[in-house]
Chains A and B, each alone.
Chain A
Amino acid sequence: MQINEGEIEKRDIFIKQVEELSGQNLFGCYQCGRCSAGCPMVSRMDAIPSMVMRLVQLGDEKVLDKNTYWVCASCYTCDVRCPKGIDIAKVMEALRQIKLRKNLNYVDIKKIDGIEELPQIALISNFRKYTG
C-alpha cells in the first residue's frame, strides 16, 4: 500500500463517501473483532466484517472486490454487539450503494439461460441490482 499526498486525498474521498452514506465515524473502530465474532454469515465471507472495517478505515477501495457486503444479511447483530456503537450493517449498505452507483453491468441479459423459466419479479430485481 503506497501512501503519499495524492493517494491520501483519494483515500479521504472514499472514506468520506462511506461515512456520509452510512452516517458512521469509521475512525471509531479499534479493531476488536467482535463484529466478525458474532456474524452469522461470516463463514460465507471472503473478508470478515472487521477486516472490511479496517479497509474502509484506510480508505482502501479494494474493499469493493470483497463479497462481504453482499453476503451481509443486515441482521444487525454486529451493530448490537459493537462496543463503540458503530452500525456496521450500515457501512455494508454504504458499500453496496457505492458499488451499485458505479452503474456497471454485472449480468448480461443474453447470457442468462432459461430466462423464460425465471420468475419475473426476481428477474427485474436482478436487473435493478446488477445492471447500470
Chain B
Amino acid sequence: MARIGVFVCHCGINIAGVVDVEKVVQEIAKYPDVVHAEHYKYMCSDPGQNLIVNAIKEKRLDGVVVAACSPNMHETTFRNACERAGLNRYRCEMANIREQSSWVHADEPEKATEKAIQLLQVSVEKVKLNAELKEAAVPVTRRCLVIGGGIAGIQAALDVADAGYEVILVEKSPSIGGHMAQLSETFPTLDCSQCILTPKMVAVARHPNIRLMTYAEVVDVKGFVGNFKVKIHQKARYVTSDCNICGKCEEVCPVIAPNEFDRNLSPRKAIYLPFPQAVPARYTIDTNHCLGLNPLVCGKCKEVCEPKAVDYDMQDEDVEVDVGAIIVATGYELFPKDKIGEYGYGVYPDVIDGLEFERLLSASGPTGGEIIRPSDGKVPKVVAFIQCTASRDPDSYMPYCSKICCMYTAKHAMLYKHHVHDGKAFVFYIDIRAGGKDYEEFVKRTMEEERITYIRGKVSKVFRRGDKMVVWGSDTLSGEFVELEADLVVLASAIVPLPDTKKVANLLKIPVDENSFLKEAHPKLRPVETLVQGVYICGAAHGPKDIPETVAQASGAASKAVGILSGKELYHEPTTAEVNIDACSGCRICVDLCPFGAISFNENTHTVEVNEILCEGCGTCVAACPTGALKLRNMTDKQIFNMIRAALSGGD
C-alpha cells in the first residue's frame, strides 16, 4: 500500500475560477492509496510548499502529486520541496489541471472539474510505480571550444579565458577579426571599427588560456556535454610562425588574386596577409592561386624570406581535442548581389553592397578612404542607398528584417557626406527601424544635419543609362514615382548565415531555423543555449544583430559555458532509457532513431548501450524496440497501462 498525498493549487483564479477545487479534493481523497488531500491558493508559494513538506513528515507520505500548472513551470519547485522533507524527488509528479483543464475548458466548469479529477487519478497511478532514482554524474573536461573568430567568438573566448578556463578558438580564415575588421566606422558613435577591435584581437593572441587555431575548421564532433571530442582540420599555410611580416615575399610573388578582405575591390598576391593588423601576424600561401608550391616552378617567396619561414612541405593535419563546452559564433554574409535580378544581378560595377562601401570608406581600404566609384574611378556626386535589399521580401528573398541596415545606411550616407561635401545622398527605405541606444538620434542627425533625402518606397529597378545608374522608386509620402539618376548605388543587402553555419550545426546536431540561422533553446528565456546541452550560440549566426548586441550575447554564451566548466561533475536527469541486454537482439533500429545520438552498439556483447548523459528520455527507442528490451525509467509499460486504465475508468 502506497501513501500518496495530493495537493491541489488554485493558481489564484486561473484554476479555482473554473475548477471546483473543493470537490476535486473530496473526490481524490476517496481514491485508493491516497491518504492526504488538500488545496491551497498558491502551492508554489513558500507557505504552499510548506504544506507539502509538513504533510510528508506528518502523514509519512511516500508519494506526492501536485495538481497545478505545467511541470515545465514548477516540477523542480515541488520536487525540491519533497527532497527537503526527505522524500526522493522522483516520487513527486504533477497533474497539469491548468493548461489541460481550466484554461481550455473555461466554458464548462463541471466537465473541467471532472477532467481535473481524472488527470489527478492518472498521476496518482504513475507515482505509485515511480522508482526512487538518483541523478547520474559525469566528470567535466574544463576546456571550451569557440567556433568562429569574429567579434562574437573573440568576446566569448576572452570571457571564458578570463574566467580561468582553457579556450580553443577556431577560425576558418587566416586571421581573426571577422566582418568587424572590414568596417570603417561604427554607428552611432562613429568609433573607428579597427581601433576598437584590434586591442581585443591582440588580447586573444596574447592570452595564456587561449589556443588560437586560424585557417582551421571543425570537421567532427563526438561526445556530449562536459565531454566533447572534437576533430579540427588545420590547413597548411606554408608559412611558419617565424614569419616577421616583413612583406618581401608579397613584393616578389608574381600571382595576382582578388582580395577577399577588400570584397574583391583590390588585388592581393598568392602569398598574403589579409590586413596589416591580422592576428596571427603571419603570411599565408593561398594554394588555389600559388603556382604550385614547387621551387622549380616559382619559389620566389622562399628565396627572399630572411627568417626562412616559408615551408612548402607543410601538410594539412587533423587535431583532436577534448572540450567540455562549445560556443558557436560562425557569423554572417550578405545576400549575394548576383541573385538580385532587379538590381542588376551584380553585373554593374557601380552597384555595390554595404560591405564593399565599408571598404571604400575605410582608411585602410582599396582607395585609402577616398570615395570613388568602381567603374571609372570618379567621385560619385549622387549616391542612392537602397534599404531592405532582399530583406522583408518573403515572396522572392528573405522574409525577415536584417535589423542593422537602417543604422548602417544612415552611417554610410553620413560618412559619404563627410567625404564628399557637395555630394547628394538619397536613401530609399520602407520603414526606419532605429531601436537602440542613441540610434534614433543618429538617424535624425543624418537627416537634419547632413540633409540626406529619405524617400519612402522600395526600389523596383536599377539599370544603366550612359554613365549613370538609374533608380526607379517611389515616394509613397507624396504619392509620386521617382526616377533618380545616380552615380553609385549602395545596396543594404540582407544578412544571411554563412553556408558553413549549417555544416557546423549538423556536426553539433543543433537545430537551425527556416532561414538557416542557429536556433536558440527558447526565444525569450534561453537565448544563448541550444537544445543540445553544452552547446551555446552567439552573434549573427543566430540572427541579424549589431555589434553591442553581439558582444552582449557572446558574454552571455561565455557565462553559460563557464557554468558548465566550473563544476567538477555534471548531473543529468535519471529518467532515461535503459536496456535489458538479455532481451536485446542487436537489431540497432534504436541506434538510428535516437535524435540525441545516445545509443551505441557494443560489438563485443552484440547489444546496444544507452549513454545516460546524452539520453533526454524522449522514449522514441522504447516505442521502436521490437523485443521490448528498452524501457524508460519511471515511464514503464505497466505505468502507462495503469494510467490509461485510470483515465478511462473515471468518465462515462
Interface residues of A (CB under 8 A from B): 1-5, 8, 25, 27-28, 30-31, 51, 54-55, 57-58, 60
Contacts and interface: CB of A to CB of B under 8 A. Distances in A.
For the side of the interface on B, what is the size category? 20 to 34
A4 B478 contact: no
Interface stretch (B219-227, B481-489, B508-516): B481-489
B478 A25 contact: no
Contacts of B453: 27, 57-58
Interface in B344-386: 381-382
Given A27-B451, A30-B447, A58-B453, A3 B477 contact: no
A3 B483 contact: yes
Nearest to A12: B424
Interface in B433-469: 444, 447-448, 451-453, 456, 468
A58 B484 CA distance: 13
Identify the 4 closest CB pairs spanning chains A and B, nearest first.
A4-B485, A3-B484, A1-B480, A54-B477
Contact of A28 (B426, B448, B477, B483): B448
13 contacts: A1-B480, A3-B426, A4-B468, A5-B382, A25-B448, A27-B447, A27-B452, A27-B453, A28-B447, A30-B447, A54-B475, A54-B477, A58-B475
Given A3-B485, A28-B447, A30-B444, A8 B382 contact: yes
Given A8-B424, A31-B477, A54-B478, A1 B483 contact: yes
A80 B183 CA distance: 42
B448 A5 contact: no
Contacts of B424: 8
Nearest to B440: A30
B482 A1 contact: yes
Interface string B125-138: 00000000000000
Given A30-B447, A54-B475, 18 more contacts: A1-B481, A3-B426, A3-B484, A3-B485, A4-B485, A5-B382, A5-B485, A8-B382, A8-B424, A25-B448, A27-B452, A27-B453, A28-B447, A30-B444, A54-B477, A54-B478, A55-B478, A58-B453
A60 B478 contact: yes
Given A1-B475, A5-B382, A58-B475, A27 B482 contact: no
Nearest to A6: B485
A125 B481 CA distance: 40
Contacts of A8: 382, 424
B249 to A, nearest CB: 47
A73 B452 CA distance: 31
B436 to A, nearest CB: 17
Given A51-B478, A58-B475, A60-B478, A2 B444 contact: no
A30 B424 CA distance: 19
- Report which residue of A1, A4, A54, A60 has the largest number of chain B beta carbons within 10 angstroms of its beta carbon: A1
A8 B475 CA distance: 16
Nearest to A52: B478
Nearest to A47: B478
Given A27-B448, A28-B448, A5 B477 contact: no
A2 B486 CA distance: 11
A4 B477 CA distance: 20
Which of B475, B477, B482, B483 has the most A CB atoms < 10 Å from its CB? B477
A42 B478 CA distance: 17
B459 to A, nearest CB: 13
Contacts of B481: 1
A25 B452 CA distance: 12
A105 B132 CA distance: 101
Contacts of B447: 27-28, 30
Contacts of B444: 28, 30
A5 B478 contact: no
Contact of B478 (A3, A28, A30, A58): A58
A28 B481 CA distance: 23
A107 to B, nearest CB: 30
Given A25-B448, A27-B448, A30-B447, A5 B480 contact: no
A2 B478 contact: no
B403 to A, nearest CB: 20
A3 B474 CA distance: 12
Contacts of B448: 25, 27-28
Contacts of A51: 477-478
Nearest to A57: B453
A55 B479 CA distance: 10
Contact of A5 (B381, B475, B482): B381
Contacts of A28: 444, 447-448
A25 B484 CA distance: 23
A5 B480 CA distance: 19
A57 B480 CA distance: 14
A3 B468 CA distance: 12
B47 to A, nearest CB: 50
Contacts of B475: 1, 54, 58
B559 to A, nearest CB: 39
A30 B453 CA distance: 11
Contacts of B485: 3-5
A51 B478 CA distance: 6
A54 B482 CA distance: 14
A108 B451 CA distance: 42
Contacts of A55: 478
